[in-house]
Amino acid sequence: MKKILAVDDEIEILKFIEKALTKNGYFVKTTTNPFEVVDILKNDDFDIAIVDLRMPDIDGMKLLEIIKKDFPEIEVLIITAHATIETAIECLKKGADDYLIKPFEIKELLMTVEKTLEIQKLKSQLVSMKEMDKLKDEFISIISHELKTPLMAISGAVEILSDQIKIELERRGFLRRQSDKEMQKLFEIVSRQTDKMKKLVNDLLDFAKMEAGFIEIKKSSCEINKLVNDAIKDIQPLADNKKIELTQEIYSSGGICINCDYEMIKRVIINLLTNSIKYSPESGKISVWFEKTASEVEVGIEDNGMGISKENLAKVFDKFYRVDQSLARASGGFGLGLSICQKIVELHGGKIRAESEGLGKGSRFIFTLPIENVEAR
């Protein structure tokens, strides 16, 4: 049963409120003494306090401030007369949740109470969602930090071992024995999986940093042509593995310099290219293009892969969202790549969007950087 406390110096109003609300299933306590309010609220859990604005002993506004400070979860409804409507608005600014203008009818009172309770429910859901989100971010941050240290040690050891194994195998006559071949294969698995884990942990860490607002953008003047070329160079082996043709098209004459964080924007391009490779069949085609318009530089990555349905187009930028869980899991990744890209682009004052004609019809990812960051050479 929802509990309501009504405070007014006029006993008739209190009686009216008590009768109307009790009849409709609420527990109601009334008082004409505003100085009792804090004690009453301390001793029981109330959902709403209905407070008269004009009381001889204490200003309703003052009482509102006290309740909101000491009992922030209680919603406060102010009762006011027409003449003090401005004051009622002032009360809303000070945290009152709604107001009733005297004289009010039962229907009006009930509607206002119900609306206030509904808002209270939504607020508490929002608070628990925010708390969950915060908890999740903290959890991610702790886990990734804890994983990073041992993983870096493993990665370092794997690198040293890799060199030693190579020397040893060469000394024994490279890969002549079956057991040597098997050892080599096993070692490649360890090395590959360590790299995959490093990418996952780094993505988690970067994501946690970005969510906490701890990411630092180090801008410098970068030539977009070089940025794209460098990204393509890094990603080429992945494309070659799937016999995917990677082409670069430029729709702008002359070099274009942009003021950006080179590593971060390169990472955006690499993330988008990795997706295009991941979500395209063997022998697919990917093209990267960039163009300078009047107000911005646009960079696009287009593939002829599996495409994205209309309803999933906006969702792909959500954190941890993957259209096909099983496929995404098989190819590794948390579904963070695009949300990291979006954060980086937005930190640069740009925008990113996804386009696709539908499933099986390829995808296009386009990001823009504003012209303020752009100087033509």
- Tell me how far, at minimum, the Cβ of 208 lies from Mg ion, in Å: 17
- Tell me how far, at minimum, the Cβ of 191 lies from ligand ATP, in Å: 19
CB 4 within 8 A of CB 79: no
- Choice between 164 and 309, CB closer to Mg ion: 309
CB hemisphere CA count around 74 (13 angstroms)? 29
- Tell me how far, at minimum, the Cβ of 302 lies from ligand ATP, in Å: 9
List residues bridging with 303 in a β-sheet: 286, 363
Site residue total, ligand ATP (CB under 6 A): 23
* Positions 289 through 348 that interact with ligand ATP (CB under 6 A): 303, 305-306, 308, 316, 321-324, 328, 333-339
- Tell me how far, at minimum, the Cβ of 248 lies from ligand ATP, in Å: 17
Query: Who's near 25: CB < 8 A, 6+ residues apart?
Result: 1, 2
Nearest 5°: CA angle at 83, between 81 and 84?
A: 75
* Positions 137 through 166 that interact with ligand ATP (CB under 6 A): none
- Choice between 17 and 268, CB closer to ligand ATP: 268
- Choice between 78 and 277, CB closer to ligand ATP: 277
- Choice between 41 and 340, CB closer to Mg ion: 340
* Positions 188 through 217 that interact with ligand ATP (CB under 6 A): 203
| Binding-site member from 30, 112, 275, 342 for Mg ion (CB under 5 A) | 275
CB 41 within 8 A of CB 74: yes
In this structure, what token pair is assigned to residue 140? 């991610």
* Spatial separation of the C-alpha atoms in residues 67 and 50, rounded to whole Å: 11
- Tell me how far, at minimum, the Cβ of 272 lies from Mg ion, in Å: 8
- Choice between 79 and 336, CB closer to Mg ion: 336
* Spatial separation of the C-alpha atoms in residues 209 and 192, rounded to whole Å: 26
Handedness of CA 274, 276, 280, 283 (dihedral sign): negative
- Tell me how far, at minimum, the Cβ of 167 lies from ligand ATP, in Å: 34
- Choice between 74 and 354, CB closer to Mg ion: 354
The stretch among 54-62, 179-187, 268-276, 319-327 that binds Mg ion (CB under 5 A) is 268-276
Q: Examine residue 71 and tell whether it contacts ligand ATP (CB under 6 A).
A: no
CB 277 within 8 A of CB 239: yes
Residue located via tokens 């708390």 = 131
DSSP three-state, residue 335: coil
- Choice between 363 and 368, CB closer to ligand ATP: 363
* Positions 295 through 354 that interact with Mg ion (CB under 5 A): 337
- Choice between 252 and 331, CB closer to Mg ion: 331
* Spatial separation of the C-alpha atoms in residues 192 and 189, rounded to whole Å: 5
Give the largest Cα separation in the chain, rounded.
Answer: 103
* Positions 246 through 285 that interact with ligand ATP (CB under 6 A): 275-276, 278-279
* Spatial separation of the C-alpha atoms in residues 30 and 21, rounded to whole Å: 11
In this structure, what token pair is assigned to residue 196? 């995959």
- In the list ligand ATP, Mg ion, none, the entry touching 80 (Cβ below 5 to 8 angstroms by class) is none
* Positions 196 through 215 that interact with Mg ion (CB under 5 A): none
DSSP tag of 216: -
Q: Give CA separation, 10 vs 16, 34, 54, 188, in Å.
A: 10, 12, 10, 84
120 by Cβ neighbours in 10 Å (0-12 / 13-18 / 19+) ranks as middle
Q: Which of 270, 279, 272, 277 is nearest to 241 (CA)?
A: 277
- In the list Mg ion, ligand ATP, none, the entry touching 335 (Cβ below 5 to 8 angstroms by class) is ligand ATP
- In the list Mg ion, ligand ATP, none, the entry touching 203 (Cβ below 5 to 8 angstroms by class) is ligand ATP
- Tell me how far, at minimum, the Cβ of 189 lies from Mg ion, in Å: 22
List the x/- string, 134-163, binding to Mg ion by CB under 5 A.
Answer: ------------------------------
Interface residues with ligand ATP (CB under 6 A) are 203, 275-276, 278-279, 303, 305-306, 308, 316, 321-324, 328, 333-339, 363
Interface residues with Mg ion (CB under 5 A) are 275, 337
